[in-house]
Structures are given as C-alpha cells and as structure tokens.
C-alpha cells in the first residue's frame, strides 16, 4: 500500500507476462498505436501529442524541461514538497534562470502570490506538482493553468502521482504538458515515461534557436516514432519496452471503459473515506486542509511519542506495507498510504485493520474498530 508501484489488475499482469514480440511485429504496432490514441482520451487532450518512452516519471520531467528550455530562459517552479525541488534541479541543468516558490510542509502556494510573480517577471514556463508524493498535498491545477495562460506562460503539470487519480482536463484547462510514470494511478509496472504535449508546446519546441541538450530525451528523435506507430507503420529509434507497452494498452483500455471521470470519482470517494478513518483515530494529516489532500495517497503524522519504525513493522506483520516519510525535515514524523489504481475498498479495510493493530501494539490508545466503522459508514 505504498504510493507506487501499486497493485495491478490481473489482466495488466497477464499482458506483462506474455511472450515478448518484436517491436516491428504487426500486433505490437497495433498495440503501440492504440495506446497513443487511448492516452489522448484518458488525458482529455484530443489534439495533444502523446509520448511513450522507456524510463521513469523523472525522465518525463526531464523531457519536458530539455525540449522547452533554452539557456537563459526564465522558469517558475511552484513547489509543495520534494518533487518541486527536483524539477528545479532539472531545469537548472539546462541553463534556466529558475525561481522556486515554496511553502511549509502541508501547505500550497497562494494563487495571488503566483500571480504576483508572473506579473513582476516574464517567464517562459512554469511547473507545478499536481500531487506531491512526499506530502500528499494537491494543488489547484485548473487555477494555476489559467494563470499561466493569462500571462502567456507554458504550463507543465507534474502528474506522476495524479494522472488518472485526479481530475485533469488537459486541453480544456490549457495545460501544455501533463506527464506521469506508469507505476502509479495509470496502473502499469514501473518503466514507462508518459507525457502529452499541447500543440503550443510542440510549436515552441519546433521554433527553438538552439539544439536540445539531451540526446535520448529530444523530441526530434521520438516524434517520428509516435507518428509512425499511430499510423500503424513500423519505426525505430530506441527499442521500446514491448511488454510494458502491451500492459499500458490494457490498463488504458480498462480506464477508458470505466470512463476517466468515473475512475477519478472512485479515487475521490475512497480517499475521503480513508482520511475520515484516520481522523477517527485522532491522527493528524500532513496536508493542512482536506481541500489540499490528494485522492491518490494520504500522508499521516504518527501520534506523539510513537516510534514510527516500530509501528510500520507491526503493520507489516499484518501483511500490509506502508511507506515512511520522504521529506528530509519530517522523515521520521509521518507515514504514507497509497490508494490508487486497482485498489478496492477491501484493500483499504485490510490496511485500516493493520494500522489499528500496529497502533494498539505500540501503545497508542483508541476505541477498537473506530476507524473501520468510520470507513465503512462513509462508503
């Protein structure tokens, strides 16, 4: 129950375990082309350009930065945790003049403060972490994208922990890049960097004055591959992760059959019930308001005086693995539970039982079963 890699649908795992075909075999060409088409539907970006590349979510961040930034460009990073700072480091690698807006853990950067920065300085792009995996904090993607559009700034949504689990209407909201990794709410084992670029972002890339300073990530090496597969033609730049792409097609098809907004609503319902279960135990959440709390994971402070490592060990004895803290300054103060993708109510019932067991065995007092009763009542 960590926030990625998650549990996967049996049908997805069967696709992963099938015999590996050639990357130019007719069945794989169809699979890859269909995956590109499905990404447009799931991302809600009918005219966007999808990219499916072997790599991690960090590679997707790297590709967005290296293709859009030229040395000396101004970039604004809106950070709500560990991964906002990572985007700053990536942008700096390509010579950007980066400004980072940060807040205390659990908070979000005020929209008025973002606009103040956009008024005072001309930026080429801004990045924001929709859901930061380190904190469980969610920002208002629609409002931030609207500000970027108002000031003619490219917007990059880091959706590694939000795509499919949170509402994202990429084209309607004017988001220029929405990126993720396969192992989170998209529901595919680790190994694929996934992003969709707007036509505006593609035009900015095409009109660069200097070469892209990244060979593997350069869209010039990938755009013809994406086009060929979508047109059901073989092509080659780097060998694709054949079984992962097969698994991706299955997962995207299942999401599309559910309906992306129905899938988001299911994440929201389970997340709300889980948060209320934690509150019933008198545990404090890291996000400072429920409005800022993600659908895809929950970050929870340990009770005062409780040894977090001992608690997590007891939870694991119950057959459930949860994650410790990731923010360096609070690493020993909180734990994280992922609830995205194929997670069902019974998975969270087992998790809550394990958390109650762990808390009881390390000496934290509460009414037996209160979290379970609260969760079930919410459902």
pLDDT, residue 46, reads 98
Residues 319 and 176 grouped into a single domain: no
pLDDT, residue 163, reads 98
Is 253 within the bounds of a domain? yes
Closest-CA residue to 319 (of 363, 344, 293, 355) = 355
Is 1 within the bounds of a domain? no
Residues 223 and 110 grouped into a single domain: yes
What tokens were used for 97? 């003049």
Residues 304 and 191 grouped into a single domain: no
Residue with tokens 């309607």: 172
3-state secondary structure 96-124: CEEEEECCCCCCCCCHHHHHHHHHHCCCC
- Boundary-marking domain end, from 232, 258, 284: 258
pLDDT, residue 310, reads 97
Residues 147 and 165 grouped into a single domain: yes
The CATH number given to whatever domain includes residue 294 is 3.90.1150.10
Is 151 within the bounds of a domain? yes
In residues, how long is the chain? 379
pLDDT, residue 67, reads 98
The whole domain housing 281 covers: 260-378
- Boundary-marking domain end, from 225, 258, 291: 258
What tokens were used for 187? 């529901």
pLDDT digits (tens, 9 = 90+) for 7-59: 999 999 999 999 999 999 999 999 999 999 999 999 999 999 999 999 999 99
The CATH number given to whatever domain includes residue 120 is 3.40.640.10
Residues 233 and 313 grouped into a single domain: no
Is 2 within the bounds of a domain? no
Residues 174 and 309 grouped into a single domain: no
Is 239 within the bounds of a domain? yes
Residues 44 and 190 grouped into a single domain: yes
Count CB-CB contacts under 10 A for residue 171.
Answer: 17
Tens-level pLDDT at each residue, the chain (379 residues): 999 999 999 999 999 999 999 999 999 999 999 999 999 999 999 999 999 999 999 999 999 999 999 999 999 999 999 999 999 999 999 999 999 999 999 999 999 999 999 999 999 999 999 999 999 999 999 999 999 999 999 999 999 999 999 999 999 999 999 999 999 999 999 999 999 999 999 999 999 999 999 999 999 999 999 999 999 999 999 999 999 999 999 999 999 999 999 999 999 999 999 999 999 999 999 999 999 999 999 999 999 999 999 999 999 999 999 999 999 999 999 999 999 999 999 999 999 999 999 999 999 999 999 999 999 999 9
Residues 265 and 199 grouped into a single domain: no
Residues 18 and 167 grouped into a single domain: yes
Is 177 within the bounds of a domain? yes
Closest-CA residue to 140 (of 248, 264, 294) = 294
Residues 80 and 139 grouped into a single domain: yes
pLDDT, residue 280, reads 98
Contact 354, 320 (CB under 8 A): yes
Residues 225 and 277 grouped into a single domain: no
* Number of domains observed in the structure of the chain: 2
- Boundary-marking domain end, from 241, 258, 275: 258
Is 254 within the bounds of a domain? yes
pLDDT, residue 17, reads 95
pLDDT, residue 156, reads 98
pLDDT digits (tens, 9 = 90+) for 355-364: 999 999 999 9
Is 3 within the bounds of a domain? no
Residues 182 and 82 grouped into a single domain: yes
pLDDT, residue 171, reads 98
């Amino acid at each position: 129950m960590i926030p990625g890699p998650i549990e996967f649908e049996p049908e997805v795992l069967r696709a992963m375990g099938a015999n590996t075909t050639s990357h130019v075999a007719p069945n794989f060409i169809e699979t890859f082309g269909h995956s590109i088409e499905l990404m447009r539907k799931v991302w809600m970006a009918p005219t966007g350009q999808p990219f499916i590349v072997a790599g991690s979510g960090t590679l997707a961040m790297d590709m967005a930065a290296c293709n859009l930034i030229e040395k000396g460009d101004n970039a604004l990073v809106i950070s709500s945790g560990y991964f906002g700072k990572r985007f700053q480091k990536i942008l700096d690698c390509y010579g950007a003049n980066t400004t980072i807006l940060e807040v205390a853990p659990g908070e979000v950067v005020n929209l008025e403060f973002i606009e103040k920065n956009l008024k005072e300085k001309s930026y080429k792009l801004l990045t924001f972490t929709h859901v930061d995996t380190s904190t469980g904090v969610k920002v208002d993607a629609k409002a931030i994208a609207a500000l970027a559009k108002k000031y003619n700034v490219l917007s990059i949504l880091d959706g590694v922990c939000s795509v499919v689990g949170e509402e994202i209407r990429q084209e309607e909201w004017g988001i220029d890049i929405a990126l993720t990794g396969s192992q989170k709410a998209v529901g595919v084992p680790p190994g694929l960097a996934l992003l969709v670029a707007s036509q505006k972002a593609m035009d900015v890339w095409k009109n660069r004055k200097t070469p892209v300073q990244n060979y593997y990530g350069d869209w010039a090496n990938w755009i013809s591959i994406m086009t060929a597969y979508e047109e059901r033609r073989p092509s080659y730049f780097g060998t694709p992760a054949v079984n992962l792409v097969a698994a991706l097609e299955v997962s995207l098809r299942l999401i599309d059959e559910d309906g992306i907004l129905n899938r988001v609503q299911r994440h929201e319902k389970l997340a709300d019930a889980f948060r209320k279960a934690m509150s019933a135990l008198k545990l404090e959440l890291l996000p400072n308001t429920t409005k800022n709390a993600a659908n895809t994971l929950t970050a929870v402070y340990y009770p005062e005086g409780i040894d977090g490592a001992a608690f997590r060990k007891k939870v694991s004895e119950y057959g459930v693995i949860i994650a410790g803290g990731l923010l360096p300054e609070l690493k020993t103060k909180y734990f994280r539970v992922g609830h995205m993708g194929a997670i069902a109510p019974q998975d969270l019932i087992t998790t809550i039982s394990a958390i109650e067991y762990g808390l009881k065995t390390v000496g934290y007092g509460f009414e037996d079963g209160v979290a379970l009763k609260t969760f079930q009542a919410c459902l």
